[in-house]
Amino acid sequence: MRSTHNFNRDWLYAPLELTDTIPDAAFASVDLPHTNIELPYHNFDNGDYQFISTYRKHFTLPEPLNGRRLHLVFDGVMIAATVTVNGHRLDEHAGGYVPFAVDITDYVSETDENLITVHVDSTERPDIPPYGYVVDYLTFGGIYRDVKLRYLEPLYIEKIFVRTLDVLTAPRVEVDVWVKNQGSAPAGCVVNVGMDGAEEPDQREGVSVEPGESAKITLGLDPHGIQLWSLSDPVLYQLSAYLTQADDAPEFDLVTARFGFRSAEFKDDGFYLNGEKIQLIGLNRHQTYPYIGAAAPARLQRKDADILKDELGINIVRTSHYPQSPHFLDRCDEIGLLVFEEIPGWQFIGDNDWKALSSRDVEVMIERDRNHPSVILWGVRINESGDDQAFYTATNALAHSLDPTRQTGGVRFFLESQFLEDVFTFNDFSKGVREPVNTPHIITEFNGHMFPTKTFDQEERQIEHAERHALIQDLAFANPRVTGAIGWCAFDYNTHREFGSGDRICYHGVSDMFRLPKWAAFVYASQVDPSVRPVLQAFTLWTMGDRSEGGNDPLVVATNCDYIEVWVGEDNHLGRFEPDRAKYPHLPHAPITVVGGSQMGVWGRMYQDLRIIGYVNGQPVIEQMIAADGIPQKLELIADDPELNADGSDMTRLVFRITDVYGNRLPFATAAVAFDVEGAGSLVGENPFTLVGGQAAVYVRAGRNPGTLMITARSLTAYRHLQPVAVTIDVR
Ligand code: GAL
């Protein structure tokens, strides 16, 4: 029988290339996922993570082999890995964004302790995508995703592909099962597939496989009473594929896959999910985080999907510019968030060996992720590269052969680009929406470097940043030939010196690097139906003198309410204001422009608190107040999770900010905040750390032992009158 062991724990790590003769004392104890170096929030160099490091693990086999094969499965190592097992050096795996497995059976001892060494080359190697020229993101380094140890019978299920067909009329399932024979003689078995919880009997067929080969069997199921996977109700099913020696004999291998019934199609006039046209509204996501690079454990990966769906309200994310964590995609399946996934790269195409790696990335990405209902489109071009007819004809054909159920795209930034794929995926930096030449057409990036904006920028810039997002989304909604628009980007990110604001950050996010919102985030958040959640955010610091010439007129409010009522001070009711349809005729929920003239503050006069109430169907549903007195009143500390797993690598975010009396962050508050951590875990991040735009975050990592983790934050420099605050986390 197959069995899989978590292999994340008890590694030894040294940030240099060491041979097996060097004693363990030269290493530190670590658990995975692991970054080869923890970095500051910004102002570091990409050279800092570029070195070869050594990971080592001593282990005895957790169970006897009993004739089985033993595979070590890496979900992702940045950017190249060479595994050595008890002195036997295996071939290098190049490419940091795709999984790989090594068969270590022939080199392990069943009785004695074994030594695995992984040399990880995290230099920006020009022979491996995305490198070769400049790249606007950092790859970071280390064994930054999960590792598993897997026992497999010599005859085992190599992969499965679950396809749902005719989901709107007579839903069917078609399953490809590849059976691999790693034994030395021809072998046969019965391949069975069944849907968990379905009344439909399992289907089966016999197969025989030559040694070293794999054979594909396709089986069909006709389930009854299935529910569709949709954005509001993402129903998932589980399929089991298993091998038996004969009909009704006990299984000796079993693989499960989660899947959903949905149809997804880009047509010339729009994108259709389950036959219903929906406008795609989305953001690009980089997988990187402050301090830990890309080494975010499952909880943080899942949290990002939740932020995109629940806080930013979008319906599609592009995994720019590479395949992202399986945990992230799993969560997208669970919550109903569509995904456009693409291969690694950035503008540059290398030589034939480089292209071969890129084609390998197409293959591994699709084989890894084609059972995810959330994934609706494959990106088979290097982001924003020039045309290359032969290369892209091949990647496109490869994608279609591996997955005939999904359309392909390939992101380019010129309209004349050769259209070889199914969907014209186009980065539109025209400050408008260019008329599609080819359809189906989707805008895969806009804004970004056209208008970098920081959480501590002057008010007018922050407003314009938000309005630029609103404008392009409005134009995308307006044009029936544009299926949607995916903004650049969700979160600020660390980058190379050739990009960004000089401190190695691209401030292109609608949220900052901590995933905390700028005002532009509320343009997206406010597009959800108010029955899902009411949203109201005024784009003002409500100061008398931050804008040029002072005051706050006009006041822009992002909201999904029918209208708002505005007061300045207790008694001064400015009136009722409705969505600005003149400016944004097509957005589901246009921001509201409040023109209040002198009521909005006049330079040299007194002014008072701002109060806004949002109404839906005549009922007040949400209120925002902003204090005229912007002196810091509260230090807040919020943990995303009340509990962590005591596994040595689980992490959660700790947001801290300084607010006015009503809880609005004060973007120009610059206090340094110090953290005391007691108990069952440790802090990840800079300590003390200064606020960035009145807000920031650090992370905590659980230890190995259950217990309570208590974190206290106190303002060190300014604002000493603020009370320290504490949170506790239960580490289980
Ligand atoms: C695009 C590129 C993105 C990012 C963006 C900034 O050209 O595809 O990765 O660099 O520009 O606006």
pLDDT in tens, 227-259: 999 999 999 999 999 999 999 899 999 999 999
Q: What residues does ligand 1 touch, defined as CB less than 6 Å away? A: 136, 320, 383-384, 427, 445, 448-449, 488, 508
For helices 326-335 and 298-306, the axis angle rounded to 10 degrees is: 40
pLDDT digits (tens, 9 = 90+) for 15-60: 999 999 999 999 999 999 999 999 999 999 999 999 999 999 999 9
460 is catalytic: no
Residues paired with residue 681 on neighbouring β-strands, in sequence order: 702
CA of 119 to the centre of ligand 1 (A): 32
Q: How far is the CA of 346 from the centre of ligand 1 (A)?
A: 9
Q: From ligand 1's centre to the CA of 143, what distance in Å?
A: 26
Phi, psi angle pair for 480, to nearest 5°: -65, -15
Give the ligand 1 atom nearest the CA of 320. Answer: 9
In this predicted structure, what is the pLDDT of residue 199? 79
Residue 23 has a pLDDT of: 97
- Candidate from 183-192, 514-523, 698-707, 713-722 with smallest mean pLDDT: 713-722
Return d(Cα 345, Cα 327) in angstroms, integer: 22
Q: Tell which one of 286, 430, 445 to mutate to probe ligand 1, the residue whose CB is within 8 A of the most ligand atoms.
A: 445
pLDDT in the model for residue 279? 98
**Residue 333 has which token pair?**
């399946």
Cα-to-centroid distance, 322 and ligand 1 (Å): 13
Q: If you average pLDDT over every residue of the chain, what do you get?
A: 96
Q: Considering 384, 459, 464, 467, which one is annotated as catalytic?
A: 384
In which element (H, E) is residue 238 found? strand 237-244
Domains and CATH numbers, the chain: 3-151 (2.60.120.260), 155-259 (2.60.40.10), 279-525 (3.20.20.80), 536-625 (2.60.40), 634-731 (2.60.40.10)
CB count in 10 Å sphere of residue 709: 25
Band the pLDDT of 720: cuts 50, 70, 90. low
What pLDDT is recorded for position 407?
A: 98
pTM of the model: 0.97
Tell me 24's DSSP state: G
**Quick one: which atom of ligand 1 is closest to the CA of 136?**
10
- At 435, list the tokens: 């008329």
> Atom of ligand 1 at shortest distance to CA of 383?
8
- Quote the ligand 1 centre to 136 CA distance (angstroms): 7
Give the strands of the sheet with 187-195, arranged side by side.
203-209, 187-195, 237-244, 251-259
Nearest ligand 1 atom, CA 499: 10
Contact 694, 658 (CB under 8 A): yes
Which residue of 449, 451, 489 sits with most ligand 1 atoms within 8 Å of its CB, as the best mutation to test the pocket? 449
The question of whether 445 is a catalytic residue gets the answer yes
